[in-house]
Amino acid sequence: MTTPDRAVILSGSGRPAATRRRPWRTEWLVLPVVVFFALFVLLPIAMLVAISLSQSMTVHALTLAHFVRFFSDGLSLPVLGRTLQLGCETSLLTLLLSYPIALVFNAASPRWQRVLIFLIVLPLLTSAVVRTFAWVVILGREGLANLALNHLGLADAPMRLLYTEPALVVALAQIELPLMTLPIIASLSTIDPRLREASLALGGGHWGTLMRITLPLSLPGVIAGVLLVFASACSAIITHSIVGGGRLLFMPLYIYQQGLQAQAWPFAAAISLCLLVAILSLVVLVNTLGRYLTRYAYA
Amino acid sequence: MTQFRPSRRDFLSASAATMVAAGAGTRARAAGSLVATTYPGSWEAAHRSILVPAFTKATGAGVSLQTVQALEAITKITASRDNPPFDVVILDEGPYLAALDLDIFAPMPPSKVKNLAEVPERFIDPNGYGAFVSAQILGIVYNPAKIKTPPTSWLDLWKPEYKGRVGITGLASSLGTAWLVEIAKLHGGSEANLEPGFEAINKLLPNVGAVAPNPGALATLFQQGQIDISFNYLNSVLPLASRGVDIAIAKPDSGWVLIRNSMHVIKNTANYDLACEYIDTALSTEVQGKMASAPNYLASTNKQVPFQSELAKVAKDNEALSHLTLIDWKTINPIRSALIERFNRDVRI
pLDDT for the residue B16: 39
Best A127, A146, A247, A275 residue to mutate vs chain B (most B CBs within 10 Å): A247
Per-residue pLDDT band for B259 (boundaries 50, 70, 90) equals: very high
- Which among B331, B332, B311, B330 has a CA at the least distance from the CA of B320? B311
Q: Is B309 on the interface with A (CB under 8 A)?
A: no
Q: Residues A174, A178, A183, A184: is their CA dihedral positive or negative?
A: positive
Do B18 and A269 lie within an 8 Å CB cutoff? yes
| A126-161 pLDDT, tens digit each | 888 888 889 988 998 888 888 888 888 887 788 888
What is the count of structural domains for chain A? 1
Q: Name chain A contacts of B209, Cβ cutoff 8 Å.
A: 141, 160
Q: What residue type is assigned to position A278 of the chain?
A: A
Q: What is the mean pLDDT of residues A77-100?
A: 96
Q: Indicate if the pLDDT at residue B282 is higher than 50.
A: yes
Nearest by CB to residue A245, choosing from B69, B172, B210, is B210
Distance of CA B99 to the CA centre of its chain: 16
List the domain range (segments joined by +) for residue B111.
8-135+259-319
Query: What ipTM is given for this predicted complex?
Result: 0.78
Confidence (pLDDT) at A1: 37
A264 vs B19, B210, B337: nearest CB: B337
Model confidence at B316, pLDDT cuts 50, 70, 90, reads confident
Q: Same domain for B142 and B253?
A: yes
B266 and B121 belong to one structural domain: yes
- Distance (Å) from the C-alpha of residue A137 to the closest C-alpha of chain B? 8
Indicate whether B296 and B151 sit together in one domain. Answer: no
d(CA B321, CA B131): 16
With CB atoms and an 8 Å threshold, state whether B224 touches A241: no
Taking phi over 0 as left and psi of -120 to 50 as alpha, with beta for the rest, B176 belongs to: alpha
Cβ–Cβ below 8 Å for B341 and A260: no
Whether residue B222 is contained in a domain is answered as: yes
Give the pLDDT confidence of A209-253 residue by residue, as tens digits: 888 889 988 999 999 999 999 999 999 998 998 898 888 999 999
Q: Report the run of H or E that residue B123 belongs to, with start and end.
A: none
Residue B4 near chain A (CB below 8 Å): yes
Calculate mean pLDDT across residues B329-346: 92
pLDDT at site B26:
39
- How much is the pLDDT for A22? 60
The residue of chain A nearest to residue B168, with distances taken between CA atoms, is A246
Closest to A247 (Cβ–Cβ): which among B16, B19, B349?
A: B349
| Bond into A178 cis (ω within 30) | no
- Please tell me the pTM assigned to this model: 0.82
**Same structural domain for residues B292 and B212?**
no
Mean pLDDT of A20-42: 82
| Closest to B27 in 3D by CA, of B83, B68, B75, B79 | B83
Q: What is the mean pLDDT of residues B208-232?
A: 90
B90 and B38 in a common domain = yes
Instruction: Tell whether the model's pLDDT for residue A296 goes beyond 80.
Output: no
Domain count for chain B, please give it. Answer: 2
Residue B55 sits in the same domain as residue B38: yes
pLDDT reading at B28 higher than 70? no
Q: Quick one: three-class SS letters along B156-213? A: HHHCHHHCCCEEEECCCCHHHHHHHHHHHHHCCCECCECHHHHHHHHHHHHHEEEEEC
Mutate to test the interface with A, among B67, B229, B345, B348 (most CBs of A within 10 A): B348
**Chain B nearest C-alpha distance from A30 (Å):** 21
Q: How confident is the model at residue B333 (pLDDT cuts 50, 70, 90)?
A: very high
Please report, for residues A9, A41, A56, A88, B22, the alpha-carbon distance to residue B16 in angstroms, rounded to integers and kept in the order given. Answer: 42, 10, 17, 21, 10
* Contact assignment for B16 to A272 by CB distance below 8 Å: yes
Do B16 and A44 make contact, defined as CB atoms within 8 angstroms? yes
Q: Phi first, then psi: what are they for B294, rounded to 5°?
A: -60, 145
Tell me if A208 is assigned to some domain: yes
- Choose from A23-37, B215-229, B273-287 the range with maximum mean pLDDT: B273-287
Q: Is pLDDT above 50 for A271?
A: yes
User: Is residue A65 situated within a structural domain?
Assistant: no
Is B16 in Cβ contact with A247 (below 8 Å)? no
Residues B37, B62 within the same domain: yes
> In terms of domains, do B221 and B286 share one?
no
Distance CA B70, CA B104 (A): 13
Give the one of B1, B17, B217 whose C-beta lies nearest to A260's C-beta.
B17
- Greatest Cα-to-Cα distance within chain B, rounded to the nearest angstrom: 58
* Residue B53 belongs to a domain: yes
Same domain, yes or no: B158 and B295: no
Residue A105 in domain: yes
Chains A and B: how many Cβ contacts under 8 Å? 142
For the cut 80, the answer to whether the pLDDT of residue B19 exceeds it is no
pLDDT band at A2 (very low <50, low <70, confident <90, very high): very low
For residue B169, the model assigns a pLDDT of 94
**A28 inside domain:** no
Lowest mean pLDDT among A17-21, A39-43, B40-44, B79-83: A17-21
Q: Which of A103-117, A168-182, B9-23, B63-77 has the lowest mean pLDDT?
A: B9-23
Instruction: Tell me which residue in A232, A246, A257 faces B212 most closely, judged by beta carbons.
Output: A246
- What is residue A126's predicted lDDT score, i.e. its pLDDT? 85
- Please indicate, yes or no, if residue B324 is contained in any of the structural domains: no
Band the pLDDT of B1: cuts 50, 70, 90: very low
Does residue B178 share a domain with residue B83? no
CATH number of the CATH domain containing A146: 1.10.3720.10
Cross-chain Cβ contact B345/A75 below 8 Å: yes
Tell me whether residues B225 and A57 touch, CB distance under 8 A: no
pLDDT of B309:
83
Task: Please give, rounded to a whole number of angstroms, the shortest distance from the CA of B347 to a CA of chain A.
Answer: 7
Least CB–CB distance from A246: residue in B7, B12, B213: B213
Judged by CB atoms within 8 Å, which residues 187-226 of B form the interface with A? 208-214, 217, 224-226
Instruction: Give yes or no for B16 touching A (CB within 8 A).
Output: yes
* Record: contact B72-A260, CB cut-off 8 A: yes
B155 with B210, same domain: the answer is yes
Distance from CA of B61 to the nearest CA of A (A): 30
Under a CB-based contact definition with an 8 Å cutoff, are residues B247 and B140 in contact?
no
B229-233 and B257-265 strand pairing: unpaired
Give a yes or no: residue A158 inside a domain.
yes
- Say which of A162, A245, A255 has its CB closest to residue B15: A255
Q: Give the CA radius of gyration of chain A.
A: 24
CB contact under 8 Å between B226 and A263, yes or no, is no
Q: Is residue A45 part of a domain?
A: no
Q: Do B348 and A246 touch (CB under 8 A)?
A: yes
The beta-carbon neighbor of A249 closest among B1, B169, B348 is B348
Q: Which residue of B has its CA nearest to A44?
A: B19
Q: Measured between beta carbons, which residues in chain B are less than 8 angstroms from residue A279?
A: 11, 15
**How far is Cα A123 from Cα A118, in angstroms, rounded to an integer?**
9
User: Average pLDDT for residues B223-247, to the nearest whole number?
Assistant: 92
Substitution target in B10, B13, B15, B104 with the highest count of A β-carbons within 10 Å is B15
Q: Which residues of chain B from 120 to 159 reach within 8 Å of chain A, CB to CB? A: none
**CATH number of the domain within which B286 lies:** 3.40.190.10
Categorize the per-residue pLDDT at A21 as very low, low, confident or very high, splitting at 50, 70 and 90.
low
pLDDT for the residue A298: 67
Signed CA dihedral, A66, B174, B94, B278: sign only: positive
How high is the pLDDT of residue A153? 85
Query: What integer pLDDT is reported at residue B163 of this predicted model?
Result: 93
A228 touches A183 (CB < 8 A): yes
Rounded distance, CA B77 to CA B103, Å?
A: 10
Domain containing A131: what range? 76-298
CA distances from B220 to A105, A152, A187, B225 (A): 40, 28, 44, 9
Nearest to B119 by CA among B108, B103, B104: B108
Supply the mean pLDDT for chain B.
88
The whole-angstrom separation of Cα B133 and Cα B279 is 8
Answer yes or no: is B221 within a domain.
yes
DSSP assignments along A139-195, one per residue: HSTTSHHHHHHHHTTS-SSPP--TTSHHHHHHHHHHHHHHHHHHHHHHHHHTS-HHH
B142 and B169, same domain (yes or no): yes
AA letter at A37: F
Q: Return the closest-CA partner of residue A120 out of A148, A152, A137, A97.
A: A97
Which B positions 104-123 lie with beta carbon below 8 A of chain A? none
Residue B239 has pLDDT above 70, yes or no: yes
pLDDT at residue A176 tops 70: yes
Nearest to A260 among B10, B21, B212 (CB): B21
